[in-house]
Amino acid sequence: MADSAAADVGRRHGSEASSPRRLSAPAAALVASAFVVATCGLVYELLASTIASYLLGDSVTQFSTVIGTYLFAMGIGSWCSRYVRRDPLRLFVRVELLIALVGGCSAAALFLLFPMVDHFRVALYTIVLAIGFFVGLEIPLLMRILRDGFDFREVVSTVLTFDYVGALAASLLFPLLLVPHLGMIRTGFLFGIANAAVALALILVVPRRRELRLEQAAAWAILAVLAVGMIAAERVQRWAETASYQDPILYAASTPFQRIVLTRSGDDLKLFLNGNLQFSSRDEYRYHEALVHPALGRVTAPREVLVLGGGDGLAVREILKHPGVEHVTLVDLDPAMTRLFSRSGILTRLNGNAFQDRRVRVINADGFRWAREAQGRYDAIVVDLPDPVDFSLGKLYTDSFYREVARLLAPGGMMSVQSTSPLVAPQAYWSVAATLESVGLNIRPYHAYVPSFGEWGFILAAHGAIPAAVRIPAGGRFLTAEGAERLFDFPPDMARRPAPVNRLDNQALVRLFSEEWGRYEG
């Protein structure tokens, strides 16, 4: 017959307890679970909302749609509870376990899924719907289980009180304790564990342990899974690159070439490619002025300029400050990058709408392949490529590549190359220098301080002698003609040291780079 378990719990309570006010152990566990269920449910909902706003931006929309979906799903769950005829206790335990599993893993899952799936929102709302549905089922079930032993009035009031108190607890704990101290992924697992623990406690407390053997085994398994998740959260965090940005994500996209992530906190925009910081809008001017002006300012009349990389258009912005520049050709691998930086309002404000300038031509191609086939001569070449973190990027720092680039450099032309930190990775830095020299270029290494990068290195290269005199265009915030000379001074901790030439067949730079940065980052 229906509600036999509920009757069981209730009757026992009724017969064993002298007063209906003193709760039996099973009933106490049930009421406690109302509290835990409420707390957990709200935590999952907050997690989903927070992660959604973090990953998708626009927190108002995310919070209101996630909460709306969640409450709606709870409604469906409550409504469906009417169809439960038999053994609500068993179902309650099962639902509790399901919530533990789905909710507990939800934060990790959302972070991991974000870069992997095309329709992240589908995943998000599916998870929210599932949790909402199960939580919605729970409260009515709980009331039914308890109603036989208590006055119905009492049941409603007790359960709902614990439910609301639980909600308050969650909403206070979440921002004050959980997110700052545990992080979102771990918070998820922790509450999953709480959920599962309550379910397990119920199983152990009600006098039906034998019947609930399966549930008990499941509970232990889920507890184990969640515990492993909790322990491995750090690692999950690393897999889920998105969880590792400090600031809220404004834009994220996976292109065939890389993962582009833009974050914003206040007025600070940061661009990450494959998780590596490319610029922070707070200090990028230092980097880009140092990258561009020492080279262009040494060419008598730079008319034709080539940029390899630099799809953010920030180097182009600086290049266009030089009067007389007639054409800028920018070769960047990723059309998504150059499109983003020619369309998005906040980004075009940052690069001064560089890509809309008539003089600028954007070519989306692999820099190496393009350089091998390209013809023509450029008065100035700015090489602004990502760091040599892997073999395919390392190719863009080899003697073979520089030979092609040198071929494109006019006799009186000047080229500059961004070349990692001479402080953190001195061998890597000087390997770039040695490689440029190995193809017959004269070089002058220099460096500048860019707070978000640290001490950063560049190298000037030319076919002939590199003049000392330099023109720095007006209106800069960092470089001046006098200051520019100081960049060439290398204190002993960054001084030149022997380093190998980077070739296609030895990729010495990639190894040095990862060794030195690895040591620095520990």
Partner 1 sequence: MKADPIRRAVIAGLGTAGAAALVGFGWQMLKPPPPATALRGADLERGHRLRQGGFPPPSVTEETAIVIAGGGIAGLAAGWTLAEAGFRNFRLLELEDRVGGNSRSGRNAVSAYPLGAHYLPIPNREAGAVRHLLRRAGALTGEAEGAPVYDPYQLCGDLQERLLWRGRWQEGLIPRTGLTARDQADFEAFHAAMEAFKARVGADGRPAFATPVAYSSRDADLLALDRIGFGDWLRAQGWGSPVLHAYLRYCTRDDYGCEPGQVSAWAGIHYFAGRRGWAAGADGDNVLTWPEGNDRLARFMAAAFPASIRSGRIVHRVARDGDSVLVDSFDAAAGRTVRTRAAAAILAMPHFVAERVAPGLVPRSTSLSYAPWLVANVTVDRLPGGRGAPLAWDNVSATGESLGYVVATHQSEARPAGTVLSWYMPLSREDPTAARRRLLETDEAAWRRLVLDDLLAMNPELDGAVREIELWRWGHAMVRPTPGTVWTEAPRIAAAEPPLYLAHSDLSGLSLFEEAHYHGTRAAEAAMTRLGHAHGTLL
Which part of the chain contacts partner 1 (CB under 8 A), choosing from 87-95, 339-347, 476-484, 501-509? 501-509
For residue 501, the minimal CB distance to partner 1 (Å) is 8
Rounded to whole angstroms, how far apart are CA atoms 285 and 340? 19
φ, ψ for residue 262 (rounded to 5)?
Answer: -115, 125
Shortest Å, Cβ 126 to partner 1: 15
Residue in 366, 437, 455, 485 binding partner 1, rule: CB under 8 A: 366
Report which residue type is found at 274: N
Question: Which of 45, 312, 379, 399 touches partner 1 by CB under 8 A?
Answer: 399
241 binds partner 1 (CB under 8 A): no
Is 334 marked active-site?
no
In angstroms, the CA 76 to CA 94 distance is 18
> By rule CB under 8 A, what count of residues binds partner 1?
21
510 near partner 1, judged by CB under 8 A? yes
* CA pair distance 517, 131, nearest whole angstrom: 43
Whole-Å CA distances, 394 to 387, 397, 411, 431, 520: 8, 5, 27, 12, 20
* Shortest distance, position 430 Cβ to partner 1, whole Å: 19
Helix (H) or strand (E) holding 145: helix 120-147
164 binds partner 1 (CB under 8 A): no
Q: Which of 161, 400, 467, 517 binds partner 1 (CB under 8 A)?
A: 400
Shortest distance in whole angstroms from residue 106 CB to partner 1: 23
Q: Which stretch binds partner 1 (CB under 8 A): 96-104, 127-135, 397-405, 447-455?
A: 397-405
Residue type, 141: L
CB of 115 to partner 1, least distance (A): 14
Question: Shortest distance, CB of residue 255 to partner 1, whole angstroms?
Answer: 11
Residue tagged 């060419």 (tokens): 299
- Residue in the structure block whose two tokens are 């990729």: 507
Specify the pairing of strand 327-332 against strand 360-364: parallel
Candidate residues 392, 442, 486, 496; the one interacting with partner 1 per rule CB under 8 A: 392
Options 6-14, 205-213, 317-325, 384-392: segment touching partner 1 (CB under 8 A): 384-392
Taking the complex as a whole, how short is the minimal distance between the CB of residue 508 and partner 1, in angstroms? 8
Residue in 507, 512, 513, 516 binding partner 1, rule: CB under 8 A: 507
Closest CA to 109 of 55, 186, 218, 185: 185
Give Cα separations from 258 to 115, 130, 333, 491 (angstroms): 11, 33, 10, 36
85/361 with CB nearer partner 1: 85
Stretch in the footprint of partner 1 (CB under 8 A) among 41-49, 391-399, 413-421, 444-452:
391-399
Question: Is 369 a residue that touches partner 1 (CB under 8 A)?
Answer: yes
- Which are the contacts of 238, defined by CB distance < 8 A and separation ≥ 6? 244
Least distance (Å) between residue 366 CB and partner 1: 3
User: Shortest gap between Cβ of 458 and partner 1 (angstroms)?
Assistant: 24
DSSP, collapsed to helix, strand or coil, labels residue 222 as helix
Task: Tell me the sheet residues that pair with 448.
Answer: 456
Asked whether 379 and 462 are in contact (CB, 8 A), the reply is no
458 binds partner 1 (CB under 8 A): no
At which residue do the structure tokens 């959920």 appear? 195
Pick one of 303, 339, 359, 503: the residue that binds partner 1 (CB under 8 A). Answer: 503
**97 and 218 Cβ atoms separated by less than 8 Å:** yes
- Residue 312: phi and psi, rounded to 5, are -85, -10
Closest listed residue to residue 73, CA positions, set 120, 127, 37: 127
356: which 2 tokens?
């809309």
Among 239, 251, 257, 488, binds partner 1 (CB under 8 A): 257
The residue within the footprint of partner 1, chosen from 272, 287, 355, 368 (CB under 8 A), is: 368
The encoded tokens of residue 192 equal: 């999953």
Rounded-to-integer distance, Cα 522 and Cα 519, Å: 5
From 44-52, 187-195, 314-322, 505-513, span contacting partner 1 (CB under 8 A): 505-513
Span from 213-221, 347-355, 411-419, 506-514 in contact with partner 1 (CB under 8 A): 506-514
Task: Name every residue whose Cβ is closer than 8 Å to that of residue 158 and which is 6 or more positions away in sequence.
Answer: 31, 34, 146, 150
Among 86, 372, 486, 497, binds partner 1 (CB under 8 A): 372
Which residues ranging from 300 to 339 are in contact with partner 1 (CB under 8 A)? 333
Looking at the Cβ atoms of 272 and 402, the one nearer to partner 1 is 402
CA-derived radius of gyration, the chain: 31
**Which residue among the candidates 384, 387, 390, 399 is catalytic per the annotation?**
384
Compute the CA torsion angle 376, 382, 387, 393 (nearest 10 deg).
Answer: -10
Rounded to an integer, what distance in angstroms lies between the CA atom of residue 329 and that of residue 356?
Answer: 13
Q: List residues with catalytic annotation.
A: 384
Residues binding partner 1 (CB under 8 A)? 256-257, 333, 366, 368-369, 372, 390-392, 394-395, 398-400, 503-507, 510
